[in-house]
Amino acid sequence: MSGDGKVFGSCCVELKEAMSGDDFEPLITVGEGGILYMSVGLIEMEDEEPGMIDHPVFFCPFCGTKLQTADEVRAKSGAIEDEPTN
């Protein structure tokens, strides 16, 4: 593993513990593309199990360190083409 992947959780112990979650299900996780996501809620879907609503985390919720930028998140999730091209 190499590249420009940042190590989330290196800014403070609180975030590191929130991500590791030995005794609980972490709500802050690194998703595809190395984007740090925080679960902000549950959504009920018809005929399906409740799903988690994830939102990219731009600043550490504990110490305020800038973790990633909107541009970085957009670049990393570039596989998702949600921008109109014409």
The label of the residue with tokens 């909107």 reads 70
- Report the run of H or E that residue 23 belongs to, with start and end: none
What CA–CA distances, in Å, run from 68 to 18, 28, 43, 58?
Answer: 17, 14, 26, 5
Smallest gap from residue 7 Cβ to Zn ion (A): 12
Smallest gap from residue 71 Cβ to Zn ion (A): 21
| Cβ nearer to Zn ion, comparing 11 with 28 | 11
In the chain, the amino acid numbered 43 is I
Q: Which stretch binds Zn ion (CB under 5 A): 5-13, 17-25, 45-53, 71-79?
A: 5-13
Applying CB under 5 A, which residues contact Zn ion?
A: 11-12, 15, 60, 62-63, 65
